[in-house]
Amino acid sequence: MNQSDLEKVLRDTLAKFNSETGTIHKLHEPTQLLRLLAQVGLPPQLLDMVTIIPVGKGIAGETAQKNRPVTICNLQTDTSGVARPAAKQTGVGGAVCVPIRTGDQVVGTLGIGTAREHEYSAAEINALQGIANSLATQLS
């Protein structure tokens, strides 16, 4: 799957979830770095900050490290320390990121965000996880 195919998956996913931004990162296991494969809706000034993300840093990094979804109701007011300070520049309110897995092994992350405050429901997270699961063979 090439970058334009991944961007189409993201656009379709964003439409389904009524969200404006999305990213797909692939985990480079030896360096423990997530590398951006595709994105939709991120401001250009943020691309440098999300191109490479260390595992354990930021929303995608924490998702990869913990091998579980990470959700934030409002990125603008979040004080958990999970999101990087620069993440507020996205203008995103609600955000969720899920692991892309092959078996139990994380091979990447799929994240979406919306401009409004939004608490993603278990059903929404499960649906996003289903999309992530379908991407796993493309990334491994």
Residue 138 has pLDDT above 70, yes or no: yes
DSSP state of 29: T
Sheet holding 21-28, edge to edge: 52-54, 33-40, 21-28, 105-113, 95-102, 70-72
User: Rounded to whole angstroms, how far apart are CA atoms 21 and 103?
Assistant: 27
Q: What is the pLDDT of residue 52?
A: 96
Cα–Cα distances in angstroms (integers) from residue 60 to residues 48, 99, 121, in the given order: 15, 8, 19
pLDDT of residue 1: 85
Domains, the chain, ranges and CATH? 3-139 (3.30.450.40)
The model's pLDDT over 80-107, given as tens digits with 9 standing for 90+, comes to 555 555 555 555 567 899 999 999 999 9
Q: Which residue has the tokens 């955000």?
A: 95
How sure is the predictor about 119, in pLDDT bands with cuts at 50, 70 and 90? confident
pTM for the full predicted model: 0.89
Higher pLDDT, 75 or 100: 100
